[in-house]
Structure 1
Amino acid sequence: MTRSKKGYYTTFLFFLMLQLSGLTFAQNPLLDDGKIKFRLNKNGSHYVRLTFLNQVWVRYNENNPGTTNGITEPNTFDIGLRRTRLQLFGQITDQVFFYTQFGQNNFSYQGPRKSGAFFHDALIEYHTNRAFHLGMGLTAWTGFARYASPSIGSLLALDTPLFQQSTADQTDQFLRKLSIYAKGQVGKIDYRVALSKPLAVYDAPTTATNFSADPPQVQSQAYVKYQLMEHESNRTPYNTGSYLGTKKVFTIGGGIIYQPNAMWRLNNNASDTIRQDLTLWAVDAFFDYPLSEQGNAITAYAGFFSTDMGFNYFRNVGVMNPAIGANTSINGSGNGFPMIGSGNTVYSQVGYLFNKDLLGKYGTLQPFGVVQYSNYDAFKDAVIMWELGANWLIKGHQSKMSMVYQNRPVFTTNSAGESVNTESKGMWVLQYQVNF
């Protein structure tokens, strides 16, 4: 699609949303909870809703060794749009639900101008009853763990545990997949199962394991959680990060993703192609509980994750990477580190919410901590990333400022040819989020 056509469709969608919101104001005043919602029937059970989210980062990053941006750049200061999204979704009839999400990620001074916005989600769903919904389209109804499909507007930490989105932008589109799926709630059990057609890959095999360019086989996936306390909504695929003391939630979940012959590599003398399956599975638990009538609450999440993605596979991830030049470490340039790989990971995050009027009319605070500990086959040492930060909840998740420090490992190759952790680098991020 040419840039002019992209611009046309983006403009059309924007004005469509404005028209819907105009109808909302003209015919249906804003609801008491502040949602932009156009009612299609008198009781509001049939509706169309519009939402908006913007997350702006101001960041100082200690770059990986040898990083260049035309010139050697040991540190980078930058400003960027981590996420900008519009959602349009609704219950059209008692049985039919649709969901779309449009926007872009990671717009920074390094990125291309006037491009990058796209549909993240576009699905249609048919409801028979609470126990069974059937849907299809471009969707995040995926396995294998809770935050493989995160609600980005309600995160506890600054960002999601991205290692759970192991195939992101390799055989899917920012974790979304072309799928047919079923989901529902039966008693205390919440389930999702899906069959997906992975997006095609065009890279030839090398001695390093990567995603296969053979016609991709169907990917099967599921995630099931048991809800010991209050039930969570399953209207959309996205799992909440923190309820800010408004719900009592305790879930235990488990999931899997499997795709035959998803990975390939050449053998040692490059005479034959070796193909391997992709198998991801996890068990995790989420706990969110109010501690007092003053609004104090605790939020916690932890899990064990097994990611078999072929022999010694690993992938460096640098979120909104501020540098794209040369480097001298295994991590790559900028803020990248081996976040994803074949092996096992233990991950945890925990946060404490102070009373709701801690700062009077200026809201309250929610400090948090994050740890990722990964034993990947390709590395002699463990990959250990940790974060400390705090959310300033000016108006809950609708108006939120977050400050975080992230410490990441840097890997180099020693004289024995082993990948070892030789130092650490840090990154400071200030984020402001508006979400309504």
Structure 2
Amino acid sequence: MKKNIILWVSLLACISTLAQKTPDTEALKLKLNESGSRFFQVTFLNQAWFRFNENNPGTSINGSPRTQSFDIGLRRTRMQLYGQITDRTFMYFQFGQNNFNAQYNATGNRKIAPFFHDAIGEYLVSSGNQLKIGGGLSIISGISRFSQPSIGTIMTMDVPVFAQTTVDQIDQFSRKLSIYARGQIGHWDYRYILSDPFPITSNGQTPPAISSNYANFSQKGHSLQQQGYLIYQFFEHENHTTPYMTGTHLGAKKIVNLAIGGAYQPNAMWQKSAQGDTLYQDMKHFAVESFVDIPLQNHAALSAYLGYFNTNYGTNYLRYNGSMNPATGTSLNASNSIAGQGPVYGNSYPMFGTGSVVYTQIGYLLPSSHAELSNRFMPYVSATFAQYDRLGNNSTTTFNAGLNYFIQGHKSKLSLDFQNRPSYQVNQGDIRAGDRLNSLTLQFQVFI
């Protein structure tokens, strides 16, 4: 691990030297009227990861056992096209791909990757952002600000993905076909969403068989999903151009918020009874959170978040997930691993489940003699404390610590992240905590 840290520091210095030569660029924005109130804009983002990972027990890559791995990948590559095309009509599209590394679609066609993430039209019913009605394919959702994050402005290297509760199960990378209302009235910011989820059978994976021990997403029937999110903003308002929520403003705004959110879908889950009957269960999620993002003296800034999540996917639901998983298989089987959904190999861990989660993060933009966001540093730490029913007394605690180097704000930045995550051992159905495992990732983000 020590050798890998030295490697990362050297690579960080090399990329930093090259990246400082990146010229300042203006947004690709076209005015549609004299004042610029009507406009059309294009943005591009790329997040390249260079990662060393301690793999879960039993992990294999292309059939070869591997306890450690190094991979290079594109965590996110996106293009946004949006604009206020009339005084009251807004449109937004996003196209791109995610989690593209050497193991992407390893047994299929690696060229099948990009897709439309978002495609919405929105109408401003009342001036001053009091009420907007929109619809289409969108990430807009309830529960949390991290359920609909602006990935170009993330403070930590990655978002807490567990807050995107149904990601790639009954949605398209957290996007659903929805109709929604959102707006800002005084100190309040609200959104209500009615979504038409995709069937679990169309997510490109083989759905798990119905079980008598735990619930899974139902493969029969169909129901709409309702979501809501309400924020009280003590000082300045959050950005309201798109439904996405900013990760950190880097001192540009004084934001102190309290929020509550939830999601409900009847009969979304199913399970077998002891008598063999099919039982349907509702999916219900709830969260309460606080967010602070404020400027300090000497051009410093503080960003902090604390949230409590109660997630109910039905009896004993549990799903493993690993961001841009570097591995492809495992030597473990149903007798010595946790059965259910998601790969247990590579960098995955129990990320989604019926239970409760506390998530917190804090970052500090270091003081500077200048206000510009060039050649600035921002260290951060984050922690996830989860208690899932399926794991009994075993908690799922994950820690991250990292450093952002802003070459030019969020437009060009380097992020070095260290993660410590849990693993589990299973013996005749008895689940116990295993060794804790680490990963070290360097990200280079470019965003215009």
TM-score, structure 2 as length reference: 0.87
C-alpha contact (below 8 Å) 2:299/2:370 kept by paired residues: no
Give the residue type in structure 2 aligned to 1:284. E
Give the whole-Å Cα distance in 1 for the aligned partners of 2:121 and 2:369: 41
Q: 1:178 aligned to 2:184?
A: no
1:321 aligns with 2:325: yes
SS class of match (1:378): helix
What do the CA deviations read for 1:101-151 (whole angstroms, capped 9, x no partner)?
000001100114222100000000010122110000001111011110001
Correspondent of 1:301 among 300, 305, 329: 305
**Counterpart in the other structure of 2:242:** 236
**Alpha-carbon separation, structure 2, partners of 1:357 and 1:389:** 23
What is the correspondence of 1:275-424 to structure 2 with a 5 Å cutoff? 275-292=280-297, 294-328=298-332, 329-330=337-338, 332-356=344-368, 363-380=375-392, 381-414=394-427, 417-424=429-436
* Residue in structure 2 matched with residue 429 of structure 1 by the alignment: 441
Residue of structure 1 equivalent to 2:230: 224
Once the two structures are TM-superposed, the CA of residue 272 in structure 1 deviates from its matched residue by: 1.1
| Cα deviation, residue 33, structure 1 | 8.1
Partner of 2:92: 99
Cα 1:104–1:93 shift into 2, 3 Å: same
1:52 to 40, 44, 47: 44
What's the CA shift for 1:357? 5.2
CA displacement 1:14-72 (0-9 Å, x = unmatched): xxxxxxxxxxxxxxxxxx98211011101101110000000000000000001112111
> Could you say if the C-alpha distance between residues 327 and 252 of structure 1 is closer, same or farther in structure 2, counting changes exceeding 3 Å?
farther
How far off is 1:324 after superposition? 1.2
- Cα deviation 1:314-350 (Å, max 9, x = unaligned): 1101100000111434471000000110000000000
Q: Distance in 2 between matches of 1:410 and 1:358?
A: 44
AA partner of residue 48 (structure 2): V
After TM superposition, the structure 1 = structure 2 runs for residues 164-203 of structure 1, keeping only pairs within 5 Å, are 164-202=163-201, 203=207
**1:151-166 residue pairs with structure 2 within 5 A?**
151-166=150-165
CA deviation vs aligned residue, 1:76-104 (integer Å, no higher than 9, x gap): 10000000000000001011000000000
Q: Output the CA distance in 2 between the equivalents of 1:121 and 1:65.
A: 37
Contact 1:250/1:287 (8 A) holds in 2: yes
Corresponding residue for residue 133 of structure 1:
132
| Aligned match of 1:86 | 79
Query: Structure 1: which 5+ runs fail to align?
Result: 1-31
| 1: CA distance, partners of 2:410 / 2:97 | 20
Distance 1:95 1:289 in 2: 31
The worse-fitting range, judged by mean Cα deviation, of 329-338 and 71-80 is 329-338
Partner of 1:114, secondary structure, is coil
Offset, 1:362: 5.7
Corresponding letter in the other structure for 1:57:
W
The structural deviation recorded for 1:423 is 1.5
**Secondary structure in 1 aligned to 2:60?**
coil
Counterpart of 2:12?
Answer: none
Q: For residue 330 of structure 2, give the secondary structure of its aligned residue in structure 1.
A: coil
Per-residue CA shift, 1:180-214, capped at 9, x if unaligned? 00000000000000100010123452334211112
- Equivalent residue of 1:423, what SS? coil
Residue 36 of structure 1 is matched in structure 2 by 28
**How far did 1:215 drift?**
2.7
Alignment check: 8 A CA contact 1:388 1:404 kept: yes
> Are the counterparts in 1 of residues 93 and 116 from structure 2 also a CA contact under 8 Å?
yes
Q: 2:265 is matched with which residue: 259, 263, 269?
A: 259
Letter aligned with residue 80 of structure 1: G
Find 1:62's aligned residue among 54, 62, 69. 54
Secondary structure of the 1:68 match is strand
Q: Map of 1:263-274 to 2, 5 A cutoff? A: 263-268=269-274, 271-274=276-279
Query: Once the 2 structures are TM-superposed, how far is the Cα of residue 356 of structure 1 from its aligned partner?
Result: 4.0
Tell me: CA distance 1:224–1:360, structure 2 relative to 1, closer, same or farther (3 Å): closer
SS in 1 for 2:42: strand
1:100–1:54 Cα change, 3 Å: same
Q: Secondary structure at the match of 1:323?
A: coil
Note if contact 2:373-2:409 (Cα within 8 Å) is conserved in structure 1: no
Name 1:12's counterpart in structure 2.
Answer: none
Name the SS for the 1:158 alignment partner. Answer: coil
Is contact 1:182–1:192 with CA below 8 Å preserved after alignment?
A: yes
Aligned residue among 104, 115, 118 for 2:112: 115
Q: State the shift of 1:414 in Å.
A: 4.1
Give a deviation string over 1:265-285, Cα, whole Å, max 9, x none. Answer: 12245x111110000000001
RMSD of aligned Cα (Å): 1.7
- Structure 1 residue 407: deviation in Å? 0.6
Output the CA distance in 1 between the equivalents of 2:442 and 2:152: 16
CA distance in 2, matches of 1:257, 1:188: 23
Cα separation, 2, equivalents of 1:177 and 1:115: 20
**Residues in 1 aligned to 2:390 and 2:311: alpha-carbon distance in whole angstroms:** 13
Q: In the alignment, does 2:211 pair up with 1:206?
A: yes
Equivalences, count: 402
The TM-score with structure 1 as length reference comes to: 0.89
